């Protein structure tokens, strides 16, 4: 029998995270939505102390996902302000050596708040990572990076923090395509690396998203993640690429959990508003006997629950050291689609109430869409799912 009961430790983690979301995030949610690029320093300091006390945030397991959902129920943008190794840290965990783990992340909980980021997207390269044009050229005991990366989540905080790190995807051999693509760790303060601009966004405005320029940026030779050798495994896969993409198998379920938090916030708002108006949802009746409103709410709940089950499954598989590439992409694709539908339907059902800035519902609709875009768009994840289910290669199904 499948057991969906959470452990006492997980229940405690959820309760603690929900308390933070309710007491620390919700009260300032609107303020930082309207004051984009203003750093919530007081909140950051409080969260850093909580992390140091008991590692309240962080990790890539089921408990971490449950926390992420609860905190994003409070505010997804502020969740991204939580001091964390981020996607850059996940890449180091997935592909780094023991020495690199110790060097870049070993003293993470010491000192002041720290962030990590990953720089992948370029103006001419989004989902097609083989089109990356940022270069890494070896020069003796160093690598020299040149290029520009856009839409780097937490890039400003990672670049400005004395112990921050940014994992940069670059090519060591453009003619080799994906086989020439490698990951490099650029530490904050490295000459030749600078934040060029901060994006103004539709949602998650509390979080910084930046462009980073690498202009003859020199880093130690040892800062490459994985082997510098350009080697193909077969016609469609490369050793370096497969290792780099393993990062997303670990982090996509966490992004799915973030989406679940935003979706549940909208769903809770709708149900609480209906209850205040004396409108009941009659569960158990045949669909044809339900009102249109009841069907809509039930569809929202079904989408939320389906996405959550997929998310928990992908995380459980990872915890058992089982390959979860298919399941991670399914969870990410479903959660991104579900939260978009749930929040849009919630605004529609609430009418002027949902559209008003008096409430956070319209904000959740704006925050929701990013979950269908970053860390692999919904379309890309659906492609991954199709390839795995049909056993097609990248060349056979694009």
3-state secondary structure the chain: CCCCCCCHHHHHHHHHHHHHHHHHHHHHHHHHHHCCCCCCHHHHHHHHHHHHHHCCCCCCCHHHHHHHHHHHHHCHHHHCCCCCCHHHHHHHHHHCCHHHHHHHHCCCCCCCCCCEEEECCECCECCCHHHCCCEEEEECCEEEEEEEEEEEECHHHHHHCCCCEEEEEEECCHHHHHHHEEEEEEECCCCCEEEEEECCCCCCCCCCEEEEEEEEEEEEHHHEECCCCCCECCCCCEHHHHHHHHHHHHHHHHHHHHHHHHHHHHHHHHHHHHHHCCCCCCCCCCHHHCCHHHHHHHHHHHHHHHHHHHHHHHHHHHHCCCCCHHHHHHHHHHHHHHHHHHHHHHHHHHCHHHHCCCCCHHHHHHHHHHHHCCCCCHHHHHHHHHHHHHCCCCCCCC
Distance between CA atoms of 354 and 347, rounded to whole angstroms? 4
Dig out the tokens for 347 from the structure: 């605004």
Bridge-based pairing of strands 165-171 and 209-220 is unpaired
Residues involved in catalysis: 375
Query: Whole-angstrom Cα distance, residue 152 to residue 195?
Result: 10
């Amino acid at each position: 029998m499948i057991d969906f009961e959470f452990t006492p430790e997980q229940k405690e983690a959820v309760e603690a995270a929900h308390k933070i979301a309710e007491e620390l995030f919700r009260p300032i949610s609107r303020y930082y939505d309207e004051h984009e690029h203003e750093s919530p320093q007081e909140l950051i300091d409080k969260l850093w102390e909580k992390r140091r006390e008991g590692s309240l945030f962080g990790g890539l397991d089921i408990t971490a996902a449950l926390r992420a959902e609860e905190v994003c129920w409070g505010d997804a943008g502020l969740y991204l302000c939580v001091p964390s190794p981020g996607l850059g840290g996940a890449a180091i965990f997935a592909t780094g050596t023991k020495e690199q783990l110790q060097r870049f992340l070993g003293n993470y909980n010491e000192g002041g708040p720290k962030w990590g980021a990953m720089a992948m997207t370029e103006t001419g390269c989004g989902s097609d990572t083989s089109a990356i044009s940022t270069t890494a050229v070896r020069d003796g005991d160093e690598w020299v990076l040149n290029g520009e990366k856009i839409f780097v989540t937490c890039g400003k905080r990672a670049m400005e923090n004395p112990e921050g790190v940014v994992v940069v995807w670059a090519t060591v051999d453009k003619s080799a395509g994906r086989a020439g693509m490698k990951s490099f760790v650029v530490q904050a303060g490295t000459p030749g690396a600078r934040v060029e601009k901060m994006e103004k966004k539709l949602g998650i405005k509390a979080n910084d998203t930046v462009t980073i320029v690498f202009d003859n940026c020199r880093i130690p030779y040892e800062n490459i993640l994985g082997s510098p050798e350009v080697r193909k495994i077969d016609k469609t896969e490369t050793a370096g690429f497969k290792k780099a993409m393993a990062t997303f198998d670990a982090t996509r379920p966490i992004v799915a959990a973030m989406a679940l938090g935003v979706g549940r916030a909208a769903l809770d708002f709708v149900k609480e508003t209906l209850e205040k108006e004396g409108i009941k949802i009659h569960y158990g009746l045949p669909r044809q006997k339900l009102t249109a409103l009841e069907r809509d709410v039930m569809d929202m709940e079904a989408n939320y629950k389906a996405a959550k089950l997929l998310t928990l499954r992908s995380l459980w598989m990872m915890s058992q050291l089982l390959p979860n590439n298919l399941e991670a992409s399914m969870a990410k694709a479903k959660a991104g689609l579900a939260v978009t539908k749930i929040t849009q339907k919630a605004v529609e059902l609430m009418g002027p109430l949902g559209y008003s800035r008096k409430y956070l519902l319209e904000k959740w609709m704006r925050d929701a869409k990013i979950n269908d875009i970053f860390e692999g768009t919904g379309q890309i994840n659906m492609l991954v799912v199709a390839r795995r289910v049909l056993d097609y290669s990248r060349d056979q199904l694009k």
